[in-house]
Amino acid sequence: MTVKRLSSFFLLGASVLLTASAPPKPANLSRAGETTLFSFATKTGKTAALCRGPKGAYLVYRFGTAVNVELQYPAKLDASSWKKFTYWSYRRGGGAHNAGLETYQLSFVNNGVEYTIVDEVTALYDKQHEEIYPRTTNVVVTVKGKAITVVGNSDTAVGELVAVSHDHKVKLDEGMMDEAD
């Protein structure tokens, strides 16, 4: 094998390895004119997505695949959709030595089932005592008091859940704390 062919072989092999280890991208569940505020692929290969309508006309949550959206909430996409979601956040600074935490949640109830979308970053120490900031993304589905967590692959996250609060249109949870005292 010539040097040129050998280097091409190694480059091809390296690109296959990089492609194989890359996390799957979440499916694009937005519609024409919508902006994806936050989305991620789940461990089962489905996508959870929160999208804003054109010019902020509405907010919509979708779950499923590009071929089969299993849930869209709300069904009617208009300005009233914003108030059908409740936003909650909590931040505690101080890094790993203070168990620093940023958690953002958006919830809604559809046909008696509560859905809570979670985007969370925690400050921790790894084995080498280096500070790390792992992210958790998931959807908690509560049916008749029993919570089931649909685990997200945080490496696939697009955007941040906190973006939904920038429009100042969603309901804020009354117990929400902006900063710990």
Show me where the domains of the chain are located.
Answer: 25-167
How are the residues of the chain apportioned to helix, strand and coil, as percentages rounded to the nearest 5? 25, 40, 35
Count other C-beta atoms under 10 Å from residue 170's C-beta.
Answer: 19
CA atoms within 13 A on the CB side of 2: 3
Res 180: pLDDT:
43
For the entire predicted model, the pTM comes to: 0.81
Res 14: pLDDT:
41
Q: How confident is the prediction for the chain on average, in pLDDT?
A: 85
Q: Report residue 44 as tokens.
A: 């089962």
Which residue is it, tokens 């101080």?
94
DSSP helix/strand/coil, 37: strand
Distance CA 134, CA 15 (A): 26
Q: Burial, 37: exposed, middle or buried (Cβ in 10 Å; 0-12, 13-18, 19+)?
A: buried
Report the Cα–Cα distance between both ends of the chain, in Å, rounded.
Answer: 67
User: 5-61 pLDDT, tens per residue?
Assistant: 434 333 334 444 444 456 667 889 999 999 999 999 999 999 999 999 999 999 999
Q: Is the pLDDT of residue 170 over 70?
A: yes
Res 92: pLDDT:
86
